[in-house]
């Protein structure tokens, strides 16, 4: 047996006993991938996996009473699509995936990267798939789905943003897309050649296009977080002017 392992096991046991005596509720143990041999010693002391990234694994041990109150690791993936609507022509940008058995129209999109804002994901994915540059205007829909096969059986959030184009000449990615076109929004809303979510969002967009986007938009504002130097983005319906700076409601 590895000598380092033999030295670590009693050391870890002593440490766990000391942490309990000091009143600690939990232990987080980060193990670099090149030190993975020590995971066995940790498991023998009751540590369990919490999550793993490319170069390390994190294990936890609950020291408090009752069931563990430690938070689960992230269990959702975040997909974002961009509904790029040209308000001058009433046409919207859609694509057909190359690697699908059924080729239906959908909005271009993909998975958000760690640390990437929703609007930036939509803009990036639209450009990568279609070559169209765009600007974020609002968030217009959220889909939640559990046990998603494409998310390793975990939960999936799929957000569609309304974007405004700043270029119009399509140069789509032929590795990902079979077709890419500007299609009349009213036509997209009634055609059967779309995914269900595309059809529903097309009708939502059509309503906003005709009646005013304030009826459907969730706009974004940025605020300072309680953590120094950090900020968060809040998405909500735009408030009437009288309520934006109000301090006391009668």
The DSSP string of 17-67 is HHHHHTT--EEEEEEEGGGGGGHHHHHHTT-EEEEEETTEEEEEEE-SSSS
Residues 94 and 134 in one domain: yes
| Structure-token pair, residue 248 | 């006391």
Same domain, 82 and 55: no
Give me the CATH number covering residue 150: 3.90.79.10
Q: Are residues 101 and 31 in the same domain?
A: no
Give me the percent of the chain exceeding a pLDDT of 70. 95
Name the least confident of 38-42, 52-56, 240-244: 240-244
Residue 162 in any domain: the answer is: yes
Query: What whole-number distance in Å separates Cα of residue 170 and Cα of residue 182?
Result: 9
Q: Are residues 10 and 109 in the same domain?
A: no
Q: Which domain holds residue 113?
A: 76-215
pLDDT at 106 over 90: yes
Q: Measure Cα distances from 236 to 114, 158, 214, 228, 233 in Å.
A: 23, 17, 11, 24, 10
> For the whole model, what pTM was predicted?
0.80
Q: Which of 31, 118, 112, 34 lies closest to 76 in space, CA to CA? A: 112
Q: Is residue 224 part of a domain?
A: no
pLDDT recorded at residue 247: 56
Whichever domain contains 54, its CATH number is: 3.40.630.30
> Cα–Cα distance between 60 and 3 in angstroms, integer?
24
Query: Are residues 139 and 207 located together in one domain of the fold?
Result: yes
- Split into its structural domains, the chain has a count of 2
Q: Tens of pLDDT along 168-216?
A: 999 999 989 999 999 999 999 999 999 999 999 999 999 999 999 999 9
Within 10 angstroms of residue 243's Cβ, the number of other Cβ atoms is: 9
Same-domain status, 15 and 84: no
pLDDT at 129: 97
Quick one: 84 and 191 in the same domain?
A: yes
pLDDT above 70 for 12 = yes
| 33 in the same domain as 91 | no
């Amino acid at each position: 047996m590895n000598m380092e392992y033999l030295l670590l096991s009693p050391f870890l046991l002593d440490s766990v006993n000391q942490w309990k005596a000091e009143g600690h509720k939990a232990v987080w143990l980060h193990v670099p991938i090149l030190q993975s041999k020590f995971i066995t010693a940790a498991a023998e002391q009751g540590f369990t996996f919490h999550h793993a990234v490319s170069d390390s694994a994190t294990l936890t041990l609950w020291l408090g009473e009752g069931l563990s109150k430690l938070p689960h690791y992230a269990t959702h993936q975040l997909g974002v699509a961009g509904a790029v609507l040209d308000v001058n022509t009433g046409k919207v940008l859609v694509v057909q995936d190359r690697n699908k058995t059924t080729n239906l129209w959908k909005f271009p999109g993909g998975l958000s990267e760690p640390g990437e804002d929703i609007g930036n994901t939509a803009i990036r994915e639209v450009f990568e798939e279609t070559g169209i540059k765009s600007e974020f205007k609002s968030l217009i829909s959220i889909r939640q789905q559990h046990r998603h096969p494409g998310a390793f059986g975990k939960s999936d959030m799929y957000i569609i943003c309304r974007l405004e184009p700043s270029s119009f000449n399509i140069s789509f990615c032929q590795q990902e897309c079979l077709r890419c076109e500007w299609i009349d929004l009213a036509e997209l809303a009634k055609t059967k050649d779309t995914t269900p979510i595309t059809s529903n969002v097309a009708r939502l967009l059509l309503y906003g296009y005709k009646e005013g986007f304030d009826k459907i938009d969730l706009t974004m504002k940025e605020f300072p977080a309680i953590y120094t130097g950090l900020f968060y983005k809040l998405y909500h319906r735009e408030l009437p002017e009288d309520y934006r700076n109000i301090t006391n409601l009668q």
